[in-house]
Homo-oligomer: A and B are copies of this chain.
Amino acid sequence: MRKTRGFLLIGSLVASSGPFSGGAAAYDGLVVKRPFTLASYTTAGGRTLRGVRVGYETYGSLSPDRDNVIFIPQPFSATSHAAGRYRPDDAEPGYWDEIIGSGKAINTDRWFVVSADTLANLNAGDPDVITTGPASIDPETGHPYGLGFPPMTLRDFVEVHRALLDWLGVGRLHAVVGASMGAMQALEWASAYPDRVARVVAVAGTGETDAWMIGQINSWASAVRADRAWNGGSYYWARDRPAAGLAAALRMVVLQMRHPSWATATFGRRWAEAGASPSLSLDNRYEIEAWQDDTAMALARRMDANSFVLMCRALQSFVVGGASLEDGLRRVRARVLLVPVASDLLTPPQHLHRVQRILEAAGASVTSREIAGEGGHADDVTRIGSVAEDIRAHLEGSDRRSARTSAEGSP
């Protein structure tokens, strides 16, 4: 079964056919990617876009009262594809398949899980991604937006997803559960719509991007901009694409998602090719370099350079609530489970510890459970199974609205 891209008329905020027609929303092991279209959307920065589309997919069945919905915002380099397979012969399921499905921690026998692409999703060249971003055609000009596309914030991602859930007829969310940039959106959701979010699970991520992260992300974005083929963001009609700059940026990203202990255990100082000593020729590589290069190139092939640059800025701009982290978190009324990753060098555990302290001081219900290991930031996916039961318990716990529940754990 090949996925067929649906088509919704622009402006069909409530489609008469409904998003659940055809039974495709039930999670039967094959996942259907669907588009959601907004006639117009005005960004937090005040720029209006027409005909905004983002993709979404669902697992499980919506209850008659529409009160069993768990929303999953996407991580930075990922898509809506959190679980299951689009096609029987897909090599890999979605990134969190280990915890989403029938009988799993996010139990699709019980919960209706909605997972969505963001605006300006990096993977604009992936046929399974539906996103409006710099590579999309600007209906005003008939040409790709390029950097005419406005800078985004994570709040913009939340707003478009809120419109999606409105359109699905879903009011209050049982939970918002996300990893990394998904965790950041989950916290933003709980701050922006305190009465609509009953629970949050934030795995890795941060409450605000600090100076160090801003600088690291500047290094990423600058590597793209240093590629002349990027040409100030105008390359869609050019023969050459800024693939080299994008790959240079992604070489940093894929490494920084890991940890020195993981790198030593996985690669050590081995050469990529027997007999080809890197100390004798620049053409020879270490094994970790070959892994970085190959992983980065593969990612770069489906990514759009301008989307990458805009997404970098969205990450840099992030503070829960948009101004002060304390003010942003004070609005949260959800029960929050924070899952810092012990060996995370991209968003070290201290970030979520700080979120916990602020939430506790504000009297919110917050618990934490760390993912142990030495895999680095990537353990938010690779070792998610180690906290599956904590996530299950958090989701299946009673839906008390008290904001005075004392914390069950602390960092």
A351 to B, closest residue via Cβ: B260
The interface residues of chain B lying within 8 Å CB-to-CB of A292 are 215, 218-219
Residues in A212-247 with C-beta less than 8 Å from chain B: 212, 214-216, 218-219, 222-223, 225-229, 244-245, 247
Whether a CB of chain B sits under 8 angstroms from the CB of A282 is yes
Question: With the chains together, A289 CA to B221 CA distance in Å?
Answer: 11
CB atoms of A255 and B313 under 8 A apart: no
The interface residues of chain B lying within 8 Å CB-to-CB of A268 are 210-211
CB atoms of B289 and A252 under 8 A apart: no
Minimum C-beta distance from A221 to chain B (A) = 8
Whether a CB of chain B sits under 8 angstroms from the CB of A75 is no
Q: Which of A28-36, A78-86, A107-115, A273-281 contacts B (4 or more CB under 8 A)?
A: A273-281
The verdict on A211 contacting B247 (CB below 8 Å), with A228-B228, A292-B218 known, is: no
CB atoms of A260 and B219 under 8 A apart: no
Whether a CB of chain B sits under 8 angstroms from the CB of A147 is yes
Whether a CB of chain B sits under 8 angstroms from the CB of A371 is no
| Residue in A208, A222, A225, A280 whose Cβ sees the most chain B Cβ within 10 Å | A222
Whether a CB of chain B sits under 8 angstroms from the CB of A372 is no
| Residue in A147, A266, A289 whose Cβ sees the most chain B Cβ within 10 Å | A289
The verdict on A210 contacting B151 (CB below 8 Å), with A252-B219, A288-B215, A317-B278 known, is: no
The interface residues of chain B lying within 8 Å CB-to-CB of A293 are 218, 222
The verdict on A279 contacting B226 (CB below 8 Å), with A210-B263, A210-B264 known, is: no
Whether a CB of chain B sits under 8 angstroms from the CB of A193 is no
| Residue in A211, A227, A285 whose Cβ sees the most chain B Cβ within 10 Å | A211
Whether a CB of chain B sits under 8 angstroms from the CB of A132 is no
Whether a CB of chain B sits under 8 angstroms from the CB of A367 is no
Minimum C-beta distance from A249 to chain B (A) = 8
The verdict on A269 contacting B208 (CB below 8 Å), with A288-B215, A292-B218, A309-B282 known, is: yes
CB atoms of B278 and A313 under 8 A apart: yes
Question: With the chains together, A4 CA to B210 CA distance in Å?
Answer: 47
A150 to B, closest residue via Cβ: B280
CB atoms of B211 and A264 under 8 A apart: yes
The interface residues of chain B lying within 8 Å CB-to-CB of A62 are none
The interface residues of chain B lying within 8 Å CB-to-CB of A309 are 282
The interface residues of chain B lying within 8 Å CB-to-CB of A153 are 279
Residues in A283-342 with C-beta less than 8 Å from chain B: 285-286, 288-289, 292-293, 309-310, 313, 316-317, 319
Whether a CB of chain B sits under 8 angstroms from the CB of A45 is yes
CB atoms of A212 and B263 under 8 A apart: yes
Whether a CB of chain B sits under 8 angstroms from the CB of A251 is yes
| Neighbour of A226 across the interface among B208, B216, B226, B313, CB < 8 A | B226
The verdict on A248 contacting B263 (CB below 8 Å), with A45-B280, A313-B282 known, is: no
The interface residues of chain B lying within 8 Å CB-to-CB of A259 are 212
The interface residues of chain B lying within 8 Å CB-to-CB of A216 are 255
The interface residues of chain B lying within 8 Å CB-to-CB of A212 are 255, 258-260, 263-264
CB atoms of A151 and B248 under 8 A apart: no
CB atoms of A211 and B260 under 8 A apart: yes
Minimum C-beta distance from A342 to chain B (A) = 16
Whether a CB of chain B sits under 8 angstroms from the CB of A267 is yes
**11 extra interface residue pairs, beta carbon distance < 8 Å, beyond A151-B279, A215-B251:** A151-B281, A210-B264, A212-B263, A214-B286, A218-B288, A218-B292, A222-B247, A223-B248, A226-B248, A228-B229, A282-B309
Could you list some 19 contacts between A and B, CB below 8 A?
Answer: A44-B279, A45-B279, A45-B280, A147-B282, A151-B280, A211-B267, A212-B259, A212-B263, A214-B269, A215-B255, A218-B255, A218-B288, A218-B289, A219-B252, A248-B248, A269-B319, A278-B317, A279-B317, A282-B313
